[in-house]
Amino acid sequence: MKIVADANMPGLELFAAHGQVVPVDGRQMNPSTVADADVLLVRSVTRVNAELLADSPVRFVGSATIGTDHVDQQWLQETQRAFAHAPGCNARAVAEYVLQALLLVCQKQGRAASSLSIGVVGMGNVGRRVAQWMQALGMTVRACDPPLAEQGVDVGYRLESIDALLDCDVLTLHVPLTDTGPAATRHLLHHERLAAMGANRILINTCRGPVVDNRALESLLREGKGPASVLDVWEEEPHVPGDLLDRVMWGSPHIAGYSVQGKENGTRMVYDAFCKWRGIVAPEGQKATALGVLAQDVQDERDLLSLLQTAYRLPDDYSRLQESLNEENSAAAFDQLRKRYPLRQEMHRWLWQGSAAVPFRPILDALFAPG
């Protein structure tokens, strides 16, 4: 069996027991790369559709990602090709990123995050965790998810419209990128909505770049009328517009979900689906032991930010992304930042020891809860 895989997918050795694994640059995959492949394993940068696979014998496609906008699932189904992805694999990494982003902006603005309201747009795997953690921090949480509202799903919050949420102090986006249907999300945050948010609000986008109209955001920020923004994702990746990067508060190269555990979970979930597709029992994964102890007292939000930054520093990602724009080929530099991303552990991989002021206990419990 020939298994063509994105070379950036960790843990490919799991698949090596089942055939010949051929690692390929995800952006360079083309019909000839998959001409004699049985299995295709991708990440978000490979477009999987008829153009890539029509003449290929590939029968199983796995994407080690949460997002699936790069995959034409309908065509895969119509042509009887099995598909699996990794729902929720890196939700925790994204929630840690959002928490740090929020604390950084608040520290810079001299505000207490706990006193703010946050609108969570998209209450799936990531959005629900973010909502739970922000509530644990003491924020007022509001939520929006028209598809779940339509289905009558109870997510623990009253589901409001996106327009109703524009008066929240903070808006955080956790929707898939979609182009059709009443809940399509491309340019969900268009010029009018961004302008309605205004300069006193905070916008965090960790879902997909085109959910925010990047040009509208840049022009509003240039005029001093746009929300303080933290962007992990960009409308035309791997191209990042320098004028927008200069105007956001923090930015990063689509790495919010790039924790060690987020990536490992992604591969593992696709591997389990692959084994099921082949009718074999997947061997158990190894149980991880704690990495060590983080000893730090948490008396205020500054301490909480500093604790988070023992594991990961968003400002470092921002600096690296800014520097990458000086490279002759900044799009290739963007991909390299992602390919060579430093190992980043999720907080729950450590044991935390210290004293905490009462209001911070719920968020610390959530951050260090196993699983």
Ligand X SMILES: O=C(O)[C@H](O)[C@H](O)COP(=O)(O)O
Question: Binding residues for ligand X, per CB under 6 A?
Answer: 8, 43-45, 65-67, 90, 257-258
- Tell me the pairing of strands 82-84 and 60-63: parallel
Q: For residue 23, how many other CB atoms are within 10 A of its CB?
A: 14
Residue 146 binds to ligand NAD (criterion: CB under 6 A):
yes
Do the Cβ atoms of 281 and 46 come closer than 8 Å?
Answer: no
Quick note: the x/- pattern for ligand NAD over 212-251, rule CB under 6 A, is --------------------xx------------------
Which of the ranges 120-128, 238-246, 285-293, 321-329 carries the binding residues for ligand NAD, by CB under 6 A? 120-128
Q: Which partner, ligand NAD, ligand X, none, binds residue 142 by CB below 5 to 8 Å per kind?
A: none
Establish whether 81 is a catalytic residue.
no
Bridge partners (DSSP) of residue 68 are: none
- Is residue 208 annotated as part of the catalytic site, yes or no? yes
Q: 43 touches which of ligand X, ligand NAD, none (CB within 5 to 8 A by kind)? A: ligand X
Helix and strand numbers (H, E) in the chain are: 15, 13
Buried b (16+ CB within 10 A) or exposed e, 168-202: bbbbbbbbbbbeeeebebbbbbeeebbbebeeebb
- The verdict on whether residue 65 carries a ligand-binding annotation is yes
DSSP letter string, 1-39: -EEEEETT-TTTHHHHTTSEEEEE-GGG--TTTTTT-SE
Phi, psi dihedrals of residue 42, rounded to the nearest 5°: -130, 170
Q: Does 197 contact ligand NAD by CB under 6 A?
A: no
**Residue 99 interacts with, from ligand NAD, ligand X, none (CB under 5-8 Å by kind):** none
Residue 223 appears among annotated catalytic residues: no
97 vs 91, 103, 347, 355, CA distance in Å? 10, 10, 11, 23
Q: Which is nearer to ligand NAD, 81 or 344 (CB)?
A: 344
Q: Which candidate in 254, 268, 320, 349 is catalytic?
A: 254
Provide, rounded to whole angstroms, the least separation between the CB of residue 148 and ligand X.
19
Q: Is 312 annotated as a binding residue?
A: no
Q: Is 219 annotated for ligand binding?
A: no
d(CA 88, CA 265): 9
Binding site for substrate: residue ranges? 44, 65, 258
Binding site for NAD(+): residue ranges? 145, 232, 257
> Which residues form the interface with ligand NAD (CB under 6 A)?
66-67, 87-88, 90-91, 94, 121-127, 144-148, 174-177, 183, 185, 188, 206-208, 232-233, 254, 256-257
